[in-house]
């Protein structure tokens, strides 16, 4: 069986009826399990995590994109998160039994359907990108929804599928394939967005030359409802830069500027191994034994990362393997051997991993 994850991001984080409708339409597809919904009012964004067999997940994603195009009017949308359209992005992620090539092919099939049947412009990104310049979401979203009409008028920015003209209501959608990603935000003891933006600039992986954290995409914003500026990160390869490494670098950069980290939050879900790595790192920093049960390592990670600082973090809901176990048969059988490749040992070992990475 080819098992995949899909994490569509929708430009709606405030209307509970729309959020519930999108979750229900995806869950209605046989062979699909919606594991988690994460909605935020400031970002005005909903992140859905679903898993299932390859073709079933593709169908669920298509139905959700279709409904989002009907329910979300982008002409009225305002939020702090960059976005292109009602369904901003829809990545497919290979799990055990699937290869990246499977997800690339699925992204292209779904993209073709969205363009032809729904009339929504589609840009392929990540491993599914048709041209190198579109691999990066940062490049695709440049100018965001507000600049989309002008960009689409340029021949080099024609969509891969769908109409080559601006759709004001739905905007455009980026559909692609990638590895597991961790969306991780670190809060600062300031409301000055410029501070968070400066730190984000310093820590993100540089496109040219060396510098920054490997596989880290970052921006700074103000979360008004939290009363805090945040460094918002996508860790596109948590094997290279896990959350504890990212947080400690943000802490170092913040202190250089006279500020402190006050906690963090996870958007969506996280693999268990990333939490175990954080628990072992912080125990190592305190010269304490790391030979403890996984549940205790997770508790150490939650406390040390400050994951419940702005809203409760529930390991049973946000750790992929734990949530699959809770879902019952047949999903509980997916929890073992979930990842397509193992996490390096140096991520799971002593508290020296920050220096190594």
Residues 321 and 336 in one domain: yes
- What range does the domain containing 245 cover? 182-356
What does each C-alpha distance from 216 to 45, 192, 246, 321 come to in angstroms?
21, 22, 8, 23
Residues 200 and 148 in one domain: no
Residues 239 and 341 in one domain: yes
Position 211 pLDDT exceeds 80: no
Among residues 36, 77, 81, 244, the one annotated as catalytic is: 81
Task: Quote the pLDDT of residue 346.
Answer: 58
Last residue of a domain, one of 177, 212, 236: 177
- The proportion of the chain whose per-residue pLDDT surpasses 90, expressed as a percent, equals 90
CATH of the domain at 270: 3.30.70.670
**For range 252-270, the mean pLDDT:** 97
Residues 69 and 96 in one domain: yes
Position 291 pLDDT exceeds 70: yes
**For range 187-192, the mean pLDDT:** 98
**For range 200-213, the mean pLDDT:** 84
Per the annotation, the verdict on 244 as an active-site residue is no
Token digits of residue 153: 């008028």
Residues 116 and 217 in one domain: no
Residues 131 and 154 in one domain: yes
Last residue of a domain, one of 177, 193, 219: 177
Position 209 pLDDT exceeds 60: no
How many angstroms separate the CA atoms of 186 and 228, rounded? 10
Position 63 pLDDT exceeds 90: yes
Contact 46, 38 (CB under 8 A): yes
Q: Could you report the per-residue pLDDT of 328-338, keeping only the tens digit for each?
A: 999 999 998 88
Residues 43 and 172 in one domain: yes
Q: Could you report the per-residue pLDDT of 311-329, keeping only the tens digit for each?
A: 999 999 999 999 999 999 9
Residues 305 and 157 in one domain: no
| Order of all β-strands in the sheet with 182-188 | 216-223, 228-235, 182-188, 261-267
**For range 53-61, the mean pLDDT:** 98
**For range 155-169, the mean pLDDT:** 95
Last residue of a domain, one of 155, 177, 199: 177
Hey, is 260 helix, strand or coil? coil
Hey, is 107 helix, strand or coil? helix
Residues 18 and 148 in one domain: yes
Q: 12: Cβ–Cβ under 8 A, 6 or more apart, which residues?
A: 18, 19, 22, 39, 44, 45, 46, 68, 71, 72, 86
Task: Quote the pLDDT of residue 343.
Answer: 58
Count of domains for the chain: 2
Residues 263 and 165 in one domain: no
Task: Quote the pLDDT of residue 351.
Answer: 37
Q: Could you report the per-residue pLDDT of 71-130, keeping only the tens digit for each?
A: 999 999 999 999 999 999 999 999 989 999 999 999 999 999 999 999 999 999 999 999
Residues 244 and 127 in one domain: no
């Amino acid at each position: 069986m080819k098992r995949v994850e899909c994490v569509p991001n929708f430009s709606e984080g405030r209307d509970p009826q729309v959020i519930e409708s999108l979750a229900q339409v995806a869950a209605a597809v046989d062979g699909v399990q919606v594991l988690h919904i994460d909605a935020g009012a400031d970002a005005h964004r909903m992140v859905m995590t679903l898993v299932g067999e390859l073709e079933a997940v593709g169908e669920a994603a298509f139905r959700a994109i279709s409904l989002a195009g009907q329910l979300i009017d982008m002409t009225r949308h305002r939020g702090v998160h960059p976005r292109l359209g009602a369904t901003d992005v829809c990545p497919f992620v290979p799990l055990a039994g699937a290869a990246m090539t499977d997800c690339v092919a699925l992204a292209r099939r779904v993209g073709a359907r969205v363009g032809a049947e729904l009339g929504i412009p589609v840009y392929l990104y990540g491993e599914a990108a048709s041209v190198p310049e579109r691999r990066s979401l940062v490049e695709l979203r440049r100018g965001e929804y507000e600049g989309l009409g002008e960009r689409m008028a340029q021949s080099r920015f024609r969509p891969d599928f769908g109409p080559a003209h601006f759709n004001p209501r739905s905007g455009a959608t980026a559909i692609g394939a990638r590895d597991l990603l961790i969306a991780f935000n670190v809060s600062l003891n300031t409301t000055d967005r410029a501070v968070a933006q400066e730190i984000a600039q310093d820590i993100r992986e540089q496109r040219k030359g060396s510098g920054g954290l490997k596989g880290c995409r970052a921006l700074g914003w103000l979360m008004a409802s939290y009363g805090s500026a945040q460094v918002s990160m996508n860790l596109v390869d948590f094997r290279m830069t896990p959350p504890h490494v990212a947080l400690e670098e943000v802490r170092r950069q913040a202190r250089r500027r006279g500020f402190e980290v006050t906690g963090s939050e996870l958007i969506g879900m996280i693999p268990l191994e990333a939490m175990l790595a954080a628990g072992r790192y912080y125990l190592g920093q305190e010269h304490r034994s790391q030979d403890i049960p996984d549940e205790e390592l997770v508790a150490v990670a939650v406390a040390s990362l400050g994951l419940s600082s702005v809203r409760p973090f529930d390991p049973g809901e946000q750790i992929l393997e734990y949530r699959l176990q809770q879902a019952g048969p047949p999903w509980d059988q997916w929890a073992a051997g979930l990842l397509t490749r193992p996490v390096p040992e140096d991520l799971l070992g002593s508290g020296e991993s920050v220096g190594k990475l």
